[in-house]
Amino acid sequence: MRHMSAPPRSRTALVTGASSGIGEQFARDLAERGYALVLVARRADRLDALAAELADRFGTAAEVLSADLGAPDGTAAVEERLRADGPDGPAPVDLLVNNAGRGDGGAFAEQDPDDVEHMLDVNVRAVLRLARAVLPVQIARRERGERDPMGIINVSSMAGEMTVNPGGSVYGATKKFVTLWSESVALEAAPHGVHVTAVLPGFVRTDMTRAVQESGTPDAAFVPKERITRDALRAWAAGRTSVVPGAQYKLADGLLRAIPRTLYKAVAGRRTVL
């Protein structure tokens, strides 16, 4: 009797903030690439609708995990899913997309302290905890000889690259943290064959930037979310530690690095949050 080998396991990606915007686009792109998905966000109804759409269009298996990453129990539930590493349980996660974020702005002295704390929980603490949950599993799988691409994409922001960011001080600081931390962890993970990539978008048309869209910001300032996810996935597959999608923001990134800090601070009167 001829031995029939088991079919190859589908790769699995977990995407946070998958109910809209960049996270939703990541889910679509990954489904098109053949990934099974774990969709994470607070709005279960929108996740259910997205899961049904992906199943219909791509035949994608999608788990729905409703969780608030600004709350300890929500983060813990996602951490538990990311630690899966056995043949009898849920499929292990090959790619974590840390996309969920909160982008409140305003003068720091006028911000609600609870809102600031929640932004820190979502933008920083949850990102670290989820990465810490999945990285040891991915490294162990590599050491067992698994060769599928594995790792993390962390969605940061060009807001973190501004020397100063009046009106977006906390948000910009959280994103600068994510970028620096992510690039350091990328170097730690690389010898194990695990890729970690920070993606730094500028303005994107999402729910988070609705106020910016309504303020008369030129169309040229916005990068399509499809470009963000495409560039991020390509950079991650290539093992790059960071990527800035969009020609206008690549130019801006170079200028921000070249402009003296004192000059930048002198002209940074306009309040903006990317």
- What is d(CA 23, CA 160) in angstroms, rounded to the nearest whole number? 19
- Do 127 and 154 contact (CB within 8 A), yes or no? yes
pLDDT at 58: 96
Q: What is the pLDDT of residues 157-214, one digit of tens each?
A: 988 887 678 888 999 999 999 999 999 999 999 999 999 999 999 877 666 555 554 4
Average pLDDT, the chain: 87
- Do 197 and 188 contact (CB within 8 A), yes or no? no
Q: What is the pTM of this model?
A: 0.87
CB atoms within 10 A of CB 114: 8
Split at pLDDT 50, 70, 90, the class of 149 is very high
Q: Is residue 255 over pLDDT 80?
A: no
- What is d(CA 184, CA 172) in angstroms, rounded to the nearest whole number? 19
Catalytic residue among 35, 171, 249, 264: 171
Q: What is the pLDDT of residues 204-235, one digit of tens each?
A: 766 655 555 445 555 666 688 999 999 999 99
Domains of the chain: 12-266 (3.40.50.720)
CA nearest 244: which of 268, 227, 259, 220? 227
Q: Is residue 272 over pLDDT 60?
A: no
171 annotated active-site = yes
Q: Count CA within 13 A, CB hemisphere, residue 113.
A: 0
Q: Any alpha helices (H) in 112-168, and if so which ranges?
A: 113-120, 126-143
Q: Can you list the positions of beta strands (E) in the chain?
A: 12-16, 36-41, 62-66, 95-98, 151-155, 195-199, 242-243
Q: Is residue 270 over pLDDT 50?
A: no
Q: Give phi and psi for 247, each to the nearest 5.
A: -60, -40
Q: How far apart are the first and last CA of the chain?
A: 62
